[in-house]
Amino acid sequence: MRRSMLIAVALAAVFMSLVGVGTVAGGRVKPTPMPTLPPVAPLTVFQGIKTVDNIDASFVEYAADGTALDALTLWMETDSASRACLATMTEEQAPTPMVTDLYCHMRTKNVDGTGPFGMWVEIGLAGPMLAGSFSVNVYQEGAKGYGPPMPWGPYQH
């Protein structure tokens, strides 16, 4: 008698646990539905990155004596004085053995520190720029836009 009572209590406990998780309908367990999650906001496209194409020999940096250096430099007006910037080679050009360094920094348009704020990018090269062009992705924190790239340096031609 005690044994059948224990079995009945155990079966009742199993049945109650099933009812707690779901309901029994027609001999099958119907699971309790999961709570619905709030809708996810749609993804927005990040507008802060700019791809700069056609960085060619017209962006070669020159030394004071007029000697072409193994570097391309450019400046773009951004109206941001932030030093936080990023420059990367575009996917189809990375990695390229011709590029040894890629550097960016906040600069003003004029070498003496006057003029509008912008972003300066330097592409260090393994040798002289003979032909072709490069493309880079750029970002500067607080940029209100990206003006057209122009050669930048104290001795630009």
Distance, in Å, from the CA atom of 48 to the CA atom of 108, rounded to the nearest integer, reads: 20
42 found inside a domain: no
Residues 76, 9 share a domain:
no
Residues 55, 123 share a domain:
yes
Looking at per-residue confidence, does 38 or 74 come out higher? 74
Residues 109, 60 share a domain:
yes
Looking at per-residue confidence, does 91 or 70 come out higher? 70
pLDDT band with cut points at 50, 70 and 90 for residue 14? low
Number of domains in the chain: 2
In this predicted structure, what is the pLDDT of residue 46? 43
Q: Which two tokens stand for residue 17?
A: 């646990």
Q: Is the pTM of this model over 0.75?
A: no
- Residue 111: strand pairing partners: none
pLDDT band with cut points at 50, 70 and 90 for residue 43? very low
CB 82 within 8 A of CB 142: yes
